[in-house]
Structure 1
Amino acid sequence: MTLTHTTSNRFLNRLRHKGLLLLLAALLLTNPVAAADVALDQQTVTFWSEGARLQGTVFKPKAIAADEKLPGILLIHGWGGNRSNLNRLYAPQFARLGFVVMTFDLRSWGDSDGFFLPNAALPTAPETKTVTVSGQHIRSVVNPQKMLEDARAAIAWLVAEPNLQADNIGVWGTSMGGGLALVVAASDPRIKALVTQIGTVNNKANFAMIPDQMVANWETQRARGQITPYPGPASAMGLPDNPDLIAIKKYDPAAYWPDIAVPTLIIDAENEELLDRQVNGMALHKSLGDRVPTRYLVIPGTHYDVYRDQGHATGLKAAQDWFVTHLK
């Protein structure tokens, strides 16, 4: 009897021990901010997109073996943003959970090169040669077609990182970056999870007030030199910075909705004032249906409340959980 009782106690202790381990694993999975004390390596990197020199930052845990492979996450900032905010509010928090994380400045923003407009025609030559020219370095241009190529170049750079699982990458984007992230996820098989936060994912609807014929006229005027080759404040139509409205009208992330084949988290602001979430996040969620794992999260407040205080904490936690669940 004593032996049986002792054996039973040992068995129960093992079950309790196993249960505690399972509980601990569950807590780590559902509360990833518990890893806040993980030390990180942070590296500034340079990469190229269509001849433009872009700057990025890569984060990864310090305590990683040379041959260890981790999932990756690419973060894409929005209209008027840059990677410095992502480096503070998002990238380290993802990297501490065991990801290789990359941020970058889109072309003409932050530390990345912008567009160059020479003051005069370049000298002709039968072959490549070095020339000295003067011109304008055009900054703060919002051209989503070029931005999309920049995001694809960032992925192309990231997949060569030695500690990365090159075919297991998540992409996260906010505001205009949310639409760019969606297109990248829909068109690159290496992307395995998507988070679009307050994303402009339906540009045709967002800019429906600008007639297509007007854009066609602008395109002709630009080709003939009747308007500036690059947009400036005079062509902004009340929008901030230097939006290239020709490129913006041609950019249609909603056309990629049917191609989304990865788990997708959609985060919107309840009182979104910069776009109509009924034709953006809500419509995207309805379009995905049961085709892929998806969640539609609404955070109280307006567009910029998602970046601060409880709005930021809620959105970050949801994105952390999403990437841990679908990439690890």
Structure 2
Amino acid sequence: MADVITRRDLNLFSEGTRIGAALFTPAGDAPAGGFPAVLLCHGWGGLGAQLERYAEVFASDGYAAMVFDYRGWGLSDGRIIPDGDTPPLLEAGVQTLQVRVLRETVDPIDRAEDVVTCLNFLGTEPGIDPNRIGLWGTSYGGGHVVHVAGHDERVKAVVAQIGGFGFPPSYRDTARARAGDKVRGNFQPVVPQAGLDGVPGLRGTPDIARMAAHSQLGGAARVHVPTLIIDAEFEELNNRLEHGWAAYMMIRQNAPAAYHTFPCKHYDVYSIYFDASMRLARDWFIKYL
């Protein structure tokens, strides 16, 4: 496939944090208006490298396709905070400070900013059509792309597969208590690390205080662009009727929308139904992007 597509590794900056990314484009010169583009967003503990096979398919079909790592994951820098009883930062400029680097935190608010960072790149990159940018997201990233599409008019079409779109109401009180602990510095570091509030079988530490303050379904209610929702019929990580189906029912009131399920569990979409899910996504972008 190397003879039909090209790859360029990138370092971007998301609110000052370096983000590792890769851009795949069809070989040869861009058309007069630029290539249409698809930004691919992974889920809870996923990495951009795991989505390169998807990006290569899109690039071979004539799209610019971009993958990236959320801040604190993969090739992206971690978030930096002062460590312990360091002196207050009351002067601007370069200083020497003992810091703590945070890695593998699952924070949907930071992640949404990272998605927008990548949109900022694609929307200003020579050879890419800024009026034909789509989002493709999987797992928790499915919720991210719908949320961003509901808040950023540059997004023209969306595919969200096996997405997570909400925070369990039963954990609201716990999340609010955790927010109080964070603001008082009752645990160190003040941003959750080392598996605090972790989910069995999922990599990374969820910041449940931030999750409870972020509504991906609220973003779905604002989406006005064509959106395809793909779900696993026997989804085991959440109740798909309260997530993907609920998002679809909101979006369909304001935009062309479709809902498709495969007869499988969550992770089977990446293996058994890889080809079938890619066909659905490609057809959707061909029609609407």
- The alignment's TM-score, normalised by the length of structure 1, stands at 0.82
Kept in 2: contact 1:175–1:198 (CA 8 A): yes
C-alpha distance in structure 2 between counterparts of 1:318 and 1:165, whole Å: 22
Kept in 1: contact 2:108–2:210 (CA 8 A): yes
Give, as a single letter, the amino acid of the residue that structure 2 aligns with 1:226.
N
Kept in 1: contact 2:228–2:258 (CA 8 A): yes
Give, as a single letter, the amino acid of the residue that structure 2 aligns with 1:236.
D
C-alpha distance in structure 1 between counterparts of 2:90 and 2:238, whole Å: 50
1:159 aligns with 2:123: yes
Return the offset for 1:232.
2.1
After superposition, give the CA deviation of every residue in 1:232-268 in whole Å (9 maximum; x if it has no partner): 2352254432111101111111112221111111100
**Closer, same or farther in 2 for the Cα pair 1:121/1:248, shift >3 Å?**
same
Number of residue pairs the alignment of both structures matches: 286
Please name the residue that 2:155 is paired with: 191
C-alpha distance in structure 2 between counterparts of 1:174 and 1:41, whole Å: 24
**Closer, same or farther in 2 for the Cα pair 1:65/1:296, shift >3 Å?**
closer
Kept in 2: contact 1:38–1:96 (CA 8 A): no
Please name the residue that 1:135 is paired with: 99
Please name the residue that 1:231 is paired with: 192
Greater Cα radius of gyration, structure 1 or 2: 1
User: Tell me, what secondary structure is at the counterpart of 2:148?
Assistant: helix
C-alpha distance in structure 1 between counterparts of 2:3 and 2:255, whole Å: 32
C-alpha distance in structure 2 between counterparts of 1:125 and 1:224, whole Å: 18
C-alpha distance in structure 2 between counterparts of 1:111 and 1:71, whole Å: 26
C-alpha distance in structure 1 between counterparts of 2:217 and 2:267, whole Å: 23
C-alpha distance in structure 2 between counterparts of 1:238 and 1:120, whole Å: 27
Please name the residue that 2:215 is paired with: 252
After superposition, give the CA deviation of every residue in 1:251-288 in whole Å (9 maximum; x if it has no partner): 11111222111111110011100010111112222223
Please name the residue that 1:284 is paired with: 247
**Closer, same or farther in 2 for the Cα pair 1:312/1:125, shift >3 Å?**
closer
C-alpha distance in structure 1 between counterparts of 2:209 and 2:6, whole Å: 40
**Closer, same or farther in 2 for the Cα pair 1:150/1:65, shift >3 Å?**
closer
Pairing of 1:106-121 with structure 2 (within 5 A): 106-121=70-85
Pairing of 1:1-328 with structure 2 (within 5 A): 39-65=4-30, 67-87=32-52, 89-123=53-87, 127-201=91-165, 203-204=166-167, 207-210=168-171, 212-228=172-188, 229-233=190-194, 235-239=196-200, 240=202, 241-289=204-252, 291-309=254-272, 311-327=273-289
The alignment yields a C-alpha RMSD, in angstroms, of 1.9
**Unaligned ranges ≥5, structure 1:** 1-35
Return the offset for 1:325.
1.1
- The alignment's TM-score, normalised by the length of structure 2, stands at 0.92
**Closer, same or farther in 2 for the Cα pair 1:320/1:109, shift >3 Å?**
same
**Unaligned ranges ≥5, structure 2:** none
After superposition, give the CA deviation of every residue in 1:103-159 in whole Å (9 maximum; x if it has no partner): 110011110011223334555676433223333221110000111111111101111
Kept in 2: contact 1:38–1:61 (CA 8 A): no
* Larger CA deviation: 218-227 vs 70-79: 218-227
Give, as a single letter, the amino acid of the residue that structure 1 aligns with 2:9.
T
* Larger CA deviation: 105-114 vs 119-128: 119-128
Give, as a single letter, the amino acid of the residue that structure 1 aligns with 2:17.
A
C-alpha distance in structure 1 between counterparts of 2:137 and 2:36, whole Å: 17
Return the offset for 1:68.
4.8
| Structure showing the higher helix proportion among its residues | 1
C-alpha distance in structure 2 between counterparts of 1:219 and 1:78, whole Å: 23
Same amino acid, percent of matched pairs: 33
User: Tell me, what secondary structure is at the counterpart of 2:287?
Assistant: helix
